[in-house]
Amino acid sequence: MQNNEFISEHLLQKAVINYIKARWPKLKYCASLGGQYQKHKSQQKKSKETGYVAGFPDLQICHARGGYFGYFIELKLNKQCYASGYQKDWIKHLKNEGYRAEVLKGFDEIRKGLEHYMSLELTLKQE
């Protein structure tokens, strides 16, 4: 898929999830609803009340590899889209806590990031 095929972050994220399901069917992940589904004040209020925090990455891969405890990705539609201050703070925090975390732009870059992470050796649990 080419980056310019997506007209919204919603469609990009949907394609990424479909890719994950097809490539790694047993992989555990969670996608954040993020701001794209919080258009109304009532939705924003409910999100905050139930634990949503601004800037939290769009996608969390719950699989420890390469010495990391998991992989967080902030998805951006294309090269012209940039992370907010809140998003940058979350990425920095997660890296400091031992996770792989990054902002990736466009389907191809996201796919490459996922492929690279999943190719790393398993992180062994310490007893």
Q: Where are the domains of the chain?
A: 3-119
In this prediction, residue 12 carries a pLDDT of: 94
CA separation, residue 98 to residues 12, 18, 92, 123 (Å): 27, 27, 10, 11
In this prediction, residue 7 carries a pLDDT of: 87
Question: Does pTM top 0.75 for this prediction?
Answer: yes
- Tokens read off for 56: 């939290």
pLDDT digits (tens, 9 = 90+) for 73-105: 999 999 999 999 999 999 999 999 999 999 999
Strand ranges (E), 8-98:
29-31, 59-61, 71-76
CATH class in words for 3-119: alpha beta
pLDDT band at 126 (very low <50, low <70, confident <90, very high): confident
Q: Check if the beta carbon of residue 50 is closer than 8 Å to that of residue 16.
A: no
pLDDT at 34 over 80: no
